[in-house]
Chain A
Amino acid sequence: MTETAISVRGLTKTYSTGATAVRALDGVNLDVSHGEVVLLMGPSGSGKTTLISIIGCILRATEGSVRVCGREVVGLRESELPRVRLDHFGFVFQGFNLFSALSVGENVELALDLKNVRGAVARHRAASLLEQVGLGDKYRAHPADLSGGQKQRVAIARALAGEPEIILADEPTAALDSHSGRNVLEMLRELAHARGRAVVIVTHDSRALEYADRVVHIEDGRIAAPTASSEEINSGWMNHREQSPATQLA
């Protein structure tokens, strides 16, 4: 396992609409290590989602380099990207994005199905993952029967099913109450610190700060300021930064 899970250099993304070109990301540099929780923060439209989409190989970069676990992914063919996502990433979404027609267990099994793990093995692993997120008794329940917090935990179990090295979480607490949100953040931190996953969280939620090792602030498609380390966060760096408009939480 390489030390640096994600290495982004000079990343630029331009959206063209007719004659107009909008630069969503402009020369972004970012490294995320295994075992690290990185928060991506910034106002709406700052480029957070674009950055996480490109890192997650969902969106193509216009320029620059993105290395995932040592592998350059920017030049890969479209048909090669699903394999990279499958091998390296687990996604946790704000809206949970669970499959309403499937049971909780089947939602997790679906991620295993993509990796060609099926049948009794898949069922056993899905049950084990749900056990890990505290939902061992909800295997047959449907997403509609769960609370928001429970749904997000199912989403985390699903993200973990493929045993990814990197977890990309987009506003994972936005739809959750305070208790559930902390629960989810605790779980993500646990994945990084105890299991060595690189965790990148896009969030506006200030509660997430205490779970982060590093905060990266993006504004107008650029890393707005030197990133804060976990030590700085713990030593009150945020109190200092909150006085600067560039680091105000949106």
Chain B
Amino acid sequence: MASLARRNLFHDKVRLMVTLTGVVFAVVLVSIQLGLFFGFKTATSNIIDHSGADLWLTGKDVTYIENGVRFSERKLYQVLATPGVAAASKYIVDFSQWKMPGGAEEGILLVGFDPATNFGGPWDIVAGRVENLKAADTVIVDELYRDKLGIARLGQTVEIQGRRARVVGFTRGIRTFTTSPAVFTSFKNAQNYTRLREDETMYILVRAVAGVDVEALRSELVARVRGVEVYTNAEFSRRTQNYWMFGTGAGVTVLIAAALGLIVGIVVVAQTIYAATVDHLREFGTLKAMGASNGYIYRVIIKQALMSAVIGYVLGMSISLPASFFSQQGTTAIILPWPVVLGLFGLTILMCITASVISINKVTRIDPALVFKG
């Protein structure tokens, strides 16, 4: 026999549509919001995450990568003299102004690195080479921002802070959380573009000798190099993410939207499952009279909720996953890691079961005389 739950669910097509709409709405809203959250989170720290460094030396009280402060480059030599350091290089991340051929200006995030070590350099290069940046006044930008920066072709010349800059390469998919595109250049060029003094840097990126304990090396650097802070790559990434996602409230807003999606989903599903239960109340009362235990009836209701959850999840994800895929071609990525996709399945199940609790409560309190009323 087909299960009563399935028959009840599919019997009323309109109600089924409303229920599924509720689940799909919740799944899409929550997944897109979470995808945006992860997209933003990734964007805030992807320069750090792709830096290839083990440790970051920063000025005091630097809470996020765009907030670097200048300090003496002499500390680089102290770092290089520390046992366990395989390589170290100076690094700049700072906001600057990009003047387009038409004269309009656009804010950019200038990233100056040492092309020799390539710590903190660009990745996923689709045109040109990192080595091109060894030439003076050269930059690499992401093709996502070509229009924004008014770049028509490779080799085009623009202005950064009143100085000439030539585009010698393009990357693909390097997004920033701020609206300012990342522009990669050599440290030396970046010094000029940001008017950093010759003997200054903003960060020192360190790579440990293979096999050296990074934590121990950090302690050693903290003891040897005064006036700076030392973070592991993961720590500095987390610090930057926390600042942008929670310090500014941007992430919280996205998470609240996701939570609202969840709440709206629960309410819609609860309402429709409740309405369906109320419609079938006499039937549930009859089941009770026939000798069905409360557990049997709960299983019917929960099965209905589970079926709604599974169908709604599949439909919802068939919208969210393509949306995530196509978003990769834009400046705002919706990133849905597989654990999140699977987690959302669990969340959808939980949402629908939670939604059915009110109905279960209703069934528990069925007036027995109901079954005897004509």
The chain A residues found within 8 Å of chain B, CB to CB, are: 49-50, 52-53, 56, 58-59, 79, 82-87, 89, 91, 93-95, 97, 99-102, 106, 109-111, 113-114, 118, 122-123, 158, 162, 170-171, 174-175, 202
Enumerate B1-15 residues with CB–CB distance to A below 8 Å: 1-2, 4, 7-8, 10-11
**Of B10, B283, B368, B373, the contact of A99 (CB 8 Å cutoff):** B283
**Contact indicator A106/B2 (Cβ below 8 Å):** yes
A3 to chain B, nearest CB (A): 24
Q: Check A86/B291 contact, CB under 8 A, given A93-B286, A100-B11, A101-B8.
A: yes
In contact, B374 and A114 (Cβ under 8 angstroms)? no
Which residues between 287 and 321 of chain B lie within 8 Å of chain A, taking CB atoms? 287-294, 296
Instruction: Give the docked Cα–Cα distance between A95 and B294 (Å).
Output: 22
B11 touches A58 (CB 8 A): no
* Contacting residues, chain A, for B7 (C-beta < 8 A): 99, 101-102, 106
Contact indicator B372/A118 (Cβ below 8 Å): no
Majority SS at the chain B contact face: helix
Query: B288 near A109 (CB under 8 angstroms)?
Result: no
Q: Take A52-B372, A94-B374, A99-B283 as given contacts and tell me if A114 and B291 are in contact as well, using a CB distance cutoff of 8 Å.
A: yes
> What distance in Å separates the Cβ of B355 from its nearest Cβ neighbour in chain A?
20
Contact at A82–B288, with CB atoms within 8 Å? yes
Q: Which residues of A contact B290 (CB under 8 A)?
A: 85-86, 91, 110-111, 114, 158, 162
- Separation of A83 and B287 alpha carbons in the complex (Å): 12
Contact mask for chain B residues 255-272; partner A; CB cutoff 8 A; 1 contact, 0 none: 000000000000000000
Across the interface, B4 reaches (CB within 8 A) one of A50, A95, A99, A118, namely: A99
- Residues on the B chain within 8 Å of A123, using CB: 1
What A residues does B234 contact at CB under 8 A? none
Partner pick for A109 among B1, B285, B286, CB 8 A cutoff: B1
Listed residue (B7, B289, B293) with the most chain A CB atoms within 10 angstroms of its CB: B289
Cα-based distance from A83 to B292 in the complex (angstroms)? 8
- Cross-chain contact B372 with A170 (CB below 8 angstroms): yes
Whether the Cβ atoms of A85 and B368 lie closer than 8 Å is: no
B299 to chain A, nearest CB (A): 11
Q: A59-B369, A83-B293, A99-B4 are in contact. List 19 more A-B contacts (CB 8 A).
A: A49-B369, A52-B372, A59-B368, A79-B293, A82-B291, A82-B292, A86-B292, A89-B289, A91-B371, A94-B372, A95-B374, A97-B286, A102-B1, A102-B2, A106-B1, A106-B2, A114-B291, A162-B291, A175-B374
Whether B289 contacts A85 by the Cβ 8 Å rule is yes
CB-contacts of B337-374 with A (<8 A): 368-369, 371-374
Within 8 A of A (CB), among B227-256: none
Chain B residues with CB below 8 A from A91, complex form: 286, 289-290, 371
Contact A97 B282 (CB under 8 A): yes
Residue of A nearest to B285 (CB): A97
Residues of A within 8 A of B283 (CB): 97, 99-100
Size class of B's contact patch? Answer: 20 to 34
Given the known A-B contacts A79-B293, A95-B374, are A113 and B1 also in contact in the complex, defined by CB atoms under 8 Å? yes
Given A79-B293, A171-B374, A174-B374, A110:B4 Cβ within 8 A? yes
Contact present for A110 and B1 (CB under 8 Å): yes
Shortest Cβ distance from B278 into chain A, in angstroms? Answer: 14
Cβ B282 vs Cβ A95 within 8 A:
yes
Closest 10 CB pairs of A and B: A86-B291, A101-B11, A101-B7, A58-B368, A85-B291, A94-B374, A97-B286, A109-B1, A82-B293, A170-B372
A111 to B373, CA, bound (A): 20
Which residue of chain B is the closest to A171 with respect to CB atoms?
B374
Residues of B within 8 A of A79 (CB): 293
Residues of B within 8 A of A109 (CB): 1
A residues less than 8 Å from B373 (CB atoms): 94-95
User: In the bound complex, do residue A93 and residue B372 qualify as a contact, i.e. CB atoms below 8 Å apart?
Assistant: yes
Cβ–Cβ < 8 Å partners of A59 in chain B: 368-369
